[in-house]
Amino acid sequence: METVMHTATAKRVRSVRPVGTRAVLAELDGLQDVLALQDMLNKSPLQGQVDVLAAAETVMVVGESAAATRAIGTRLLELEITAPEVTDSGLVVIETVYDGDDLADVAELTGLSVDGVIAAHTGQIWTVAFAGFAPGFGYMVGENEALTVPRRSSPRTAVPAGSVALGGQYSAVYPRSSPGGWQLIGRTGARMWDLDRAQPALVRPGDRVQYKAVREVVTAGAPSARDTSAGDSPAGDSDKERHTESGLRILNPGAQSLIQDLGRRGYGPLGVSAAGALDRASLRRANRLVGNASSAAAIESVNGGLTVEAIGDQVIAVAGAPTTLTIESPSWVDSEGSDDDGYVQPGAQRTVPMAAPFALLDGEVLTIGAPESGFRNYVAIRGGVDAPEVLGSRSADTMSGIGPAPLAVGQELPAGEATASTAVESPELQPDFPGLPGQGVTVLDVVPGPRADWFDQEALDSLCSQEWLVTPQSNRVGMRLDGTPLRRIREGELPSEGTMAGALQIPPAGLPVLFLADHPITGGYPVIGVVRDEHLDLAAQVPIGGRIRFHLVPDAPDFTTTFTKTPEN
């Protein structure tokens, strides 16, 4: 390991760890250095920089390519960190009623009176260090540690929106109702996340916050229609009331059907993941076949069962898991003719091929059968699905609730204008897809780290030597795997740090969770390895009950340079 010495006054990144091939994790000496580096990278982005995710002791930088990421890692080791300029212009005041359920417990834990807790909370400036957990949830660190308290031993299943809370050294406001284990000391009417604002997040990393005690909550306004969670209300309600002249009507959404495009990038600092299609190659293929732009919105459907009706004549293509595509003619078709006369009999059925464009005429019904292999299908309509954009994308994010809700019976999806060609494409060959349960094992390439050093060689060998079962608890956030647990060699917990799709996080129970597109932005469990970006499409097609084997490929860049301070005389 090479050691580079520098003067005691210079501040540098302590080390850089690869996070797969598309991100690097810069380790720093403390939160002040984290805030300073985050500020530098936001003001002067490095070449190829896509996203910056600050956390407790690290800053993760995502690159646009593997080559760009390697260059970013090298450049981070060379940077001299300078403190950000501090001004009062960014001070956000949050009016708070201090009547939280855990206020007395916090007083006991800190040795203060209840009034002392309130005085300590309002009497200092808090700085938003990073975002995570949910959009608008800012981890704020104070000027002292007087209110450092442990999280609750038993998390609540539901914490009300607007709850002001303490956890560890941080304070935060819950932007929406959600489970949570922080100590609740009060509540506020401030809207921490509002998609109708130019800046949806009330506080962003680097902002300074002061809490102000008040006697009653003043609500800043009712939630906007676009600020509801995908699970809170059926997003199709307004769409069902709107007449669509050209598009698709949902007759049966199947197990879960969502609108997806290629996702939203650059909002990690606000706690928003990229989301988007899990099998990006299949989405692009379906769009290409009908002449759409590759990023056009389409329907992502799971395990068959989706049934749609054409509103007007449409051009459709279905890609992804091989299955039977059945089209049934409408009951109102002229029944007095015959096939020889050029008519289609009412209720007549025909099948159409996968990965090929076909016409779905007005009133005809398309049904997606159960997959013969694989798990997900992508249904593209020429022009794309014209759903409202949220933060630059039409994708549904099941973790944060941003974007369209799961499709509902009777919902109408209008066709858009996202075409890239005046013609449709020729049928394409599809790759092999993972077999159904009992039909083989899917092999995924994994790059070690960034926290492989939390495990010994035996654990690494076990990760790659066994077959992991995909459990029913898996979803778009992550695939939960079952097998022989992996044992850590380090005690304690890891401070929260940035994470990404493909990360294999190992909770204390030792069973891996493979993060997918809707993953949380930060995580507190060590990541033993990261599935190569090229294999994430394959992972998305492994069905529930399918089996995975990991293949370790140590081809990530090696950032072993460590900067140390010159000892003071």
User: Is 412 a residue whose pLDDT tops 60?
Assistant: yes
Q: Report the C-alpha gap between 333 and 345 in whole angstroms.
A: 7
Query: Residues 399-427: what's their mean pLDDT?
Result: 93
Q: Report the C-alpha gap between 140 and 182 in whole angstroms.
A: 13
Q: What percent of the chain has pLDDT over 70?
A: 88
Backbone torsions φ then ψ of 144, nearest 5 degrees = -145, 180
More confident residue, 364 or 491: 364
User: Is 227 a residue whose pLDDT tops 60?
Assistant: no
Backbone torsions φ then ψ of 312, nearest 5 degrees = 80, 165
More confident residue, 258 or 331: 258
Any residues with CB less than 8 A from the CB of 247 and at least 6 apart, and which? 311, 312, 314, 381, 385, 386, 412, 413, 414, 415
pLDDT category of residue 413 using cuts at 50, 70 and 90: very high
pLDDT of residue 563: 39
Cα dihedral 236, 237, 238, 243 sign: positive
Largest CA distance in the chain: 102
Q: Report the C-alpha gap between 32 and 35 in whole angstroms.
A: 5
CB 511 within 8 A of CB 469: no
Could you give the 3-state DSSP secondary structure of residue 419?
Answer: strand
Residue with tokens 């013969």: 372
pTM: 0.86
| Amino acid at the residue 489 | I
User: Which of 45-54, 100-109, 186-195, 211-220 is least confident?
Assistant: 211-220
Residue with tokens 């500020």: 39
User: Is 433 a residue whose pLDDT tops 50?
Assistant: yes
CB 511 within 8 A of CB 482: yes
pLDDT in tens, 340-353: 555 556 678 999 99
Q: What percent of the chain has pLDDT over 90?
A: 68
Query: Residues 399-412: what's their mean pLDDT?
Result: 94
Identify which of 445, 453, 448, 556 has the alpha carbon closest to the alpha carbon of residue 73.
556
CB 138 within 8 A of CB 127: no
User: Is 88 a residue whose pLDDT tops 60?
Assistant: no
Q: What is the 3-state secondary structure (H, E, C) of 450-511?
A: CCHHHECHHHHHHHHHCCEEECCCCCCCEEEEECCCCCECCCCCCCCEECCCCEEECCCCCC
pLDDT of residue 192: 95
User: Is 229 a residue whose pLDDT tops 70?
Assistant: no
Query: Residues 123-150: what's their mean pLDDT?
Result: 92
More confident residue, 187 or 2: 187
User: Is 440 a residue whose pLDDT tops 60?
Assistant: yes
pLDDT of residue 129: 87
Q: How far is CA 416 from CA 251, 298, 411, in A?
A: 20, 11, 16
pLDDT of residue 155: 82
**CA 38, 517, 269: angle at the middle one, nearest 5?**
20
Q: Report the C-alpha gap between 477 and 399 in whole angstroms.
A: 6
pLDDT of residue 238: 42
pLDDT of residue 26: 96
Q: Report the C-alpha gap between 513 and 181 in whole angstroms.
A: 21
CB 298 within 8 A of CB 364: no
Beta strands in 239-278 (DSSP E): 247-252, 257-260
CB 169 within 8 A of CB 148: yes
Identify which of 349, 355, 414 has the alpha carbon closest to the alpha carbon of residue 381.
414
Gap between the terminal Cα atoms of the chain: 26
pLDDT of residue 336: 45
pLDDT category of residue 513 using cuts at 50, 70 and 90: very high
Q: Report the C-alpha gap between 529 and 138 in whole angstroms.
A: 27
pLDDT of residue 144: 93
More confident residue, 43 or 319: 319
Query: Tokens representing 489?
Result: 């060699």
Q: Per 3-state DSSP, what percentage of the chain is helix, strand, and coil (rounded to 5)?
A: 15, 30, 55
User: Is 339 a residue whose pLDDT tops 60?
Assistant: no
DSSP string, 4-70: EEE-TT----SEEEEETTTEEEEE-SSHHHHHHHHHHHHHSPPTTEEEEEE-SSEEEEEESSHHHHH
pLDDT category of residue 233 using cuts at 50, 70 and 90: very low
Best mean pLDDT range from 94-108, 141-155, 325-339, 516-530: 94-108
